[in-house]
Structure 1
Amino acid sequence: MEVVFGIDVKKDNTAKHSDVLVSKMNLPHNGILHHGRGFSKTGLLMNLLDVIFMKGNCTTEEDIWDFLGKMNIYAGKRHFIFGEPKKLITQDLVQLKYLEYQQVPGSDPACYELLWGLRAHAEASKMRVLEFLARINHLDSSAFHFGYEEALKDEEERAQASGCPSVPPAVPSTPSEAEANSAL
């Protein structure tokens, strides 16, 4: 449910021993793009944001389709949950400002790339999508060394921007991690 729909099942704190479904993001209509129809797109969006983040905050459309192909999601082939995925990714999620879709400058033939959109930056964080990636892969977030360091930096910047006390920076555990961090 987490990978496909982007929701967690959490225990409700009532005496009824019931569970509650909690969305990973605050998408309008819980990620259902056409009010009253279809399934939540939150899981797909979280996966797309993960791929973009792990590819250096910008990735080619080709990389996205390679990744989605592993999930049996293909451009031009209607998916029973996501509908037509190319339209969903390059139009619907772009229109909602969760993704940016732009031509790679100087590419001939034209190639396109995807980046996080303004709403993705506002409603998600790099740490949140990294935790999502870690959870679906049964790993700890810190297992993604380079991404984890960047996510910590992002968390610190968000805390400073909101006026909250800053998060202490992570100390690189190896010299190579320190060199990788200085390259940021």
Structure 2
Amino acid sequence: MIYFINIIIGLLFICFDLLGYNSNLLKYLVSFNSLAYLIIKRANIYVILAMAFAFIADYFLLFSDLYILGIILFIFVQITYMYLLNYHNYLPLCLLIFIFVDPLITLVLIYLCFSLLNLYHSYPISKSFFTSILLLLLCDITIGLVFLEIVDPRCFIFIWIFYLPSQLFFIFSFL
């Protein structure tokens, strides 16, 4: 049922975006629904924790200019994924030595390293979790391309076209 509800909300926010209306509340509702569903279903604590970090990060990315805090929270999501995948590699945190050069780029690189490690480790364990991480990575690549002005800002809609199914595959992976 949660899949159907989130897909309907997703179609609504895509329509809102295409028509030029602010759809941030609808996008945040998808995150809320996903977190609430995992709590109700009493999912593994790390699954709930990962979704909770994503839920809080979504708030900062949707409703504030605190992008660095949002990225830090998504790094915590990726670290939580490591626990779900039962491996531990904190090597990307070595990049923190560059935090004073450019905090945003440093955190993005750390996040990217964790994301690629999780993508690699998830494939043999769970195809749906792998798909979730892959879609999240495509979402993040789109964010980077829009931020760097490599693609048209209208491509911003693809961020959520990738992000919504990523959350649905994540839920499906652990229930």
TM-score normalised by L of structure 1: 0.28
The structure in which a higher percent of residues are helix is: 2
TM-score normalised by L of structure 2: 0.29
The structure in which a higher percent of residues are strand is: 1
Instruction: Compare relative contact order (CA 8 Å, sep 6+) and give the higher one, 1 or 2.
Output: 2
Q: Which structure is larger by alpha-carbon Rg, 1 or 2? A: 1
